[in-house]
Structure 1
């Protein structure tokens, strides 16, 4: 026998909705067995700003390598980090 789902309330603000879902079990409101995977191609990945101390000589070498590739040095660092992470999988 299938479980009777509760109706999802109407919210006045996003904050009100967020507070509601933080305190509720979604299975009381949504049949996740009927969920379908969705692709959202226009979403940009989240990023976080970090502070990283590097020896001046190393940073200079990275900037030279980036200049040779005609890319910003911070982008080159991200590329290298992503490649390294992928190679460890």
Structure 2
């Protein structure tokens, strides 16, 4: 003997639960895609920053090499050169 509440519950279980499960599954997939896009964007940003830091490090290393060469090649004249640069007005 089926009353109205039993029929409602049967319809809810047979129809409602799969529909709700399907909607939850789609929402979950969309969330995963969004997280994947965010991870890719963060990865690209991190790679770009790493390249910038590498380029900056290379520039600094080149400057240090030049300074080392100046000091080792012309150590005696260095103080005189620095003083002449201080006396030169900046534009």
Q: Do both share a fold (TM > 0.5)?
A: no
Q: TM-score, normalised by structure 1?
A: 0.26
TM-score (norm 2): 0.26
Bigger relative contact order (CA 8 A; separation at least 6): 1
